[in-house]
Structure 1
Amino acid sequence: MPSISETIAAKVSSITIADIPEEVKLRARHLMLDSIGVGIAASTTGFAEVTLNGLSRLDPGEVPVIGRSETLSKSGAAIANGLMIHGHDFDDTHIAAVSHVSASSLAAVISASAGDESITFDELLLGYILAIEVNARLGMAADGRFHDKGFHPTGVLGAYGSAIGAGIIHKLTAKQLVAAQGIVGSFSSGVLQFLDEGSGTKRLHPGWAANAGLHAVSLAAAGFDGPAGIYEGRFGLYRTHIQDSEAPGTELFDNLGEVWEVDNVAVKPFPTCHFTHSFIDIALRLREDPAFEYSQIEHMTARIHEVPARVVCEPVEDKLRPRGEYDAKFSLPYLTAAALRHGKITFDELNESARGEEDVLAAAALLTVEHDDESLYPKAFSGDLAITLKDGTTLHESEKINRGHESRPLTNTEVAVKFSDCALPVVGVEKAGTIQSTIIDAQGSRPATEIIGTFCG
């Protein structure tokens, strides 16, 4: 019986761009556009400057970076582009996989295509789509348990998807793709300790995954071997990372090329951890109730599944008074209070000035957390919020399925609006329009480097 990696390799090797339905390719182009938009928004930040300064110390290169004039090596650009896309935590998520699938996938195929005029945009798009398909299925097989063991699926699983995406672009054989997956298993990484300390290391995870995929593909192409049982083996991914004694079978991968998980990728409406989105939307609706008055909040109760609660509600002291932007993005109490206070959650509500608003921090301290045994997690990121006012009035609402979920998706038109909101302040109207029309309408036969050049450099 073939292993999971052999099943994946055989499937992806047989898929061509012509096999992918037009509506799936169009959605993938919009996911790409969304990623580029949030990457451009991050390109002028302090964390982008620090990252580029650090990477440029290692080795020079000619590969462009999203929204920047600097160039790096293929490896450095993969790390930088992954960081740009994921930097604001505004990039897409495959909800059942609990993984930001585009950040690593797009970063990997950009570097894999860079500098080679013979690689077409169709080939880049095929690699990008198949990277997402593999990344998503690997996460689905874990049923949301990577987070509970302290691993960030975006970094861990993104490495495998990136190896597939880059391997497709470089036309690896099925045997070489098996080796690439086995090799990248020794490179994939991403731990959640940043949650306890407010560090920005999470931003690096998808870029490092893309970089890992590139190296695994290069080694596999040269003849380096890797274990075929990298997923289900005695010391494979599932037994080591989620301590699962029963590793998954190949069922989730048998429909590769028939069922498209690209259709199930959720585009984010807020630049915060996806686990908080239902609560933000509920808060925005409850503040419109005629009975609501911010100064009259007596107490709030948020009900959330215990696994995401450990991410966005613990440690309590750091969630009540965020030390930095990442603490704020991952703080259910702070974001709920900020949404109720300002009527929106944008980049502005996450900056240093906003994080210091005492009336918001005071409201955040009024929120207690309870386990929601009716949550749909990990199939959806459910939320339940009750606000008690000083006169005894209680406002309450539940949202079982978060906005952006596959069953409540942002439309392609809404994705384009989000792209404009992210890109216009940085690149202006004309360039933003050029990027959008190129990504959405470009002929697949055009060189990938031409397309990349519209949004990098």
Structure 2
Amino acid sequence: VAALDLLESVNQSDARRLFDGRFCSVDNSVIANGALMHTRLQEDAHPAGHIGVAVLPAVLAISEKEVKSGADVLASTIVGYETALRIGRDHAADASARGFRTTSIYGVFGAAAATARLMSLNVTETTNALRLAANYASGLREFVNGGTEEYVLHAGTAAQLGVRAAAYAKAGITASRETLHGPAGFYRAFSSTEKQYDQRLVDELGKKYEFMNVAMKPYPVCQFHRGIIRGVIELRQKIDDLTLKKLQIHMHPFEAEFFGVQYKGPFEAFPQTIMSASFCAGLAWIAGEVSYEGMNRFHDPGLNGLLDRIHVVPDIDCQRYQPKLYLTLADGQTLHWREETPQDAYDLNWESAIEMVQVISREMKIPKHAFKMLVENIKLLDEAQDPSSLIDLACELVGLVHCQTSS
């Protein structure tokens, strides 16, 4: 009863939904904002998932309700990222291979940790919040095969359940000490091996930060395909005749055999195209770019006509995120390309974040002055008394985009 009372107090109409600016319950806010942030699938990226779309909805909602400072917003965001990524970094590949969605199964830990800090939970309460979060971890990758929309709810639900885990823990509810690595715990339930996934859990904690390994996504596609798109665009710039006879895409076997990567259609929805290496390569070849609008060209006859000439090849000589392309033109000319861009070129830092948001802003027709206001607001966030100005601006920008796309 105490937990439900606390949850009810958390869920007063004290947080906003970005898409319409309406004040609503925290539950409503985090689900709506998580779904909105994850719709385009162009966000932060790490083998342990797109953690920001679970952490940030929780941070915005709780910091707005509790009137926390901008510095608290930043600190709790870091706490959320670091917690989720450390729990997932050595476990993600095995969980993914079984069909679980890393964004949501680790994102719930991040949302719980961030909320715990914003709600000033003590050590015991925070520990129980994380243990409870393990019980809420969920989300499957089958949406890729079905071409369905549940993936957006993975983000919002992870944020919602992370907030609930923290609220329950603050009310005194406890969870098993062995929840993470016990014989019936999280790691064993979400993998099929007996590995010790928690061996590096707290290695150099406070000295080295896993969130520094988060990458940016230059395109609204699966991160496996960033090099493929880059390579195809570079190759097409070298030739005049774009008549393609064959394109072989060599990828690390984990990537080449991943859910949806070798799918060639028919395409009916965005969740199918984002994972298809052939679709992404074909779009890059035809258009010379890959945009969100382009990823929705499901029935383009020119694009679909290319896909039987594009083949994915598992190659043990390829490193992760380092594909090789072998292209043959109609006149018999052959071209080769391999990803040699350093991994740190994709690091998500201040400069790359601005560049990525600029690209998205142009595509969404956001005015330059509005983009500059967003950058300045975030730059000064650590000095802000509360996040209200940032949320005001975010609501305004989302509303502007909504008006443009619906007109």
Query: Do Structure 1 and Structure 2 share a fold, with TM-score over 0.5?
Result: yes
Q: Which residue of 2 aligns with 1:16?
A: none
Q: How does 1:220-259 map to 2 (within 5 A)?
A: 220-259=169-208
Query: Aligned pair in 2 of structure 1 residues 400, 108: CA closer, same or farther (>3 Å)?
Result: farther
Q: Which residue of 1 aligns with 2:90?
A: 141
Could you tell me which amino acid in structure 1 is paired with residue 201 of structure 2? L
Q: How does 1:284-299 map to 2 (within 5 A)?
A: 284-290=233-239, 293-295=241-243, 297-299=244-246
Equivalent pair of 1:60/1:71 in contact (CA under 8 Å): no
- The correspondence for 1:448, drawn from 375, 387, 393, is 387
- The correspondence for 2:300, drawn from 357, 361, 364, is 357
Q: Which residue of 2 aligns with 1:131?
A: 80
Q: Which residue of 2 aligns with 1:114?
A: 64
Q: Which residue of 2 aligns with 1:76?
A: 28
User: Take 2:225 and 2:149, find their aligned partners in 1: how far apart are those partners?
Assistant: 18
Q: Which residue of 2 aligns with 1:311?
A: 258
Q: Which residue of 1 aligns with 2:3?
A: none
Could you tell me which amino acid in structure 2 is paired with residue 202 of structure 1? Y
**Structure 1 residues without counterparts, runs of 5 or longer:** 1-58
User: Take 1:320 and 1:231, find their aligned partners in 2: how far apart are those partners?
Assistant: 39
Residues 104-150 of structure 1, C-alpha deviations (whole Å, 9 max, x = no match): 11111111212222x11111111101111111112212152221110
Q: How does 1:34-433 map to 2 (within 5 A)?
A: 61-94=13-46, 97-117=47-67, 119-142=68-91, 144-290=93-239, 293-295=241-243, 297-311=244-258, 313=260, 316=263, 319-351=264-296, 354-377=297-320, 381-399=321-339, 405-409=343-347, 412-423=350-361, 425=364, 428-433=367-372
Could you tell me which amino acid in structure 2 is paired with residue 431 of structure 1? A
User: Take 1:249 and 1:413, find their aligned partners in 2: how far apart are those partners?
Assistant: 33
Cα offset, 1:262, TM superposition: 2.5
Cα offset, 1:208, TM superposition: 0.9
Equivalent pair of 2:145/2:259 in contact (CA under 8 Å): no
Query: Aligned pair in 2 of structure 1 residues 152, 400: CA closer, same or farther (>3 Å)?
Result: farther
Residues 414-441 of structure 1, C-alpha deviations (whole Å, 9 max, x = no match): 4213323434646534433222211112
User: Take 1:435 and 1:369, find their aligned partners in 2: how far apart are those partners?
Assistant: 40
User: Take 1:143 and 1:74, find their aligned partners in 2: how far apart are those partners?
Assistant: 29
SS in 1 for 2:219: coil
Measured on the aligned residues, the alpha-carbon RMSD in Å equals 2.1
Could you tell me which amino acid in structure 1 is paired with residue 33 of structure 2? N
Cα offset, 1:281, TM superposition: 0.5
Could you tell me which amino acid in structure 1 is paired with residue 286 of structure 2? R
Determine if the alignment matches structure 1 residue 439 to structure 2 residue 378.
Answer: yes
Could you tell me which amino acid in structure 1 is paired with residue 354 of structure 2? A
User: Take 1:264 and 1:314, find their aligned partners in 2: how far apart are those partners?
Assistant: 24
Could you tell me which amino acid in structure 1 is paired with residue 126 of structure 2? L
User: Take 1:278 and 1:67, find their aligned partners in 2: how far apart are those partners?
Assistant: 33
Cα offset, 1:313, TM superposition: 4.4
Query: Aligned pair in 2 of structure 1 residues 131, 420: CA closer, same or farther (>3 Å)?
Result: same
User: Take 1:328 and 1:248, find their aligned partners in 2: how far apart are those partners?
Assistant: 32
User: Take 1:314 and 1:337, find their aligned partners in 2: how far apart are those partners?
Assistant: 13
Provide TM-score, normalisation by structure 2. Answer: 0.88
User: Take 2:341 and 2:93, find their aligned partners in 1: how far apart are those partners?
Assistant: 16
Cα offset, 1:310, TM superposition: 3.4
Query: Aligned pair in 2 of structure 1 residues 428, 71: CA closer, same or farther (>3 Å)?
Result: farther
Equivalent pair of 2:96/2:102 in contact (CA under 8 Å): yes
Query: Aligned pair in 2 of structure 1 residues 188, 313: CA closer, same or farther (>3 Å)?
Result: closer
User: Take 1:168 and 1:443, find their aligned partners in 2: how far apart are those partners?
Assistant: 16
**Structure 2 residues without counterparts, runs of 5 or longer:** 1-10, 397-407
Cα offset, 1:252, TM superposition: 3.2
Count of matched residue positions in the alignment of Structure 1 and Structure 2: 385
Equivalent pair of 1:322/1:331 in contact (CA under 8 Å): no
User: Take 1:334 and 1:417, find their aligned partners in 2: how far apart are those partners?
Assistant: 25
Most deviating of 423-432 and 155-164: 423-432
Equivalent pair of 1:181/1:230 in contact (CA under 8 Å): no
SS in 2 for 1:251: coil
Most deviating of 69-78 and 249-258: 249-258
Query: Aligned pair in 2 of structure 1 residues 124, 60: CA closer, same or farther (>3 Å)?
Result: closer
Cα offset, 1:176, TM superposition: 0.8
User: Take 2:19 and 2:36, find their aligned partners in 1: how far apart are those partners?
Assistant: 9
User: Take 1:305 and 1:449, find their aligned partners in 2: how far apart are those partners?
Assistant: 45
SS in 2 for 1:107: helix
Q: Which has the higher contact order (CA 8 A, sep 6+)?
A: 1
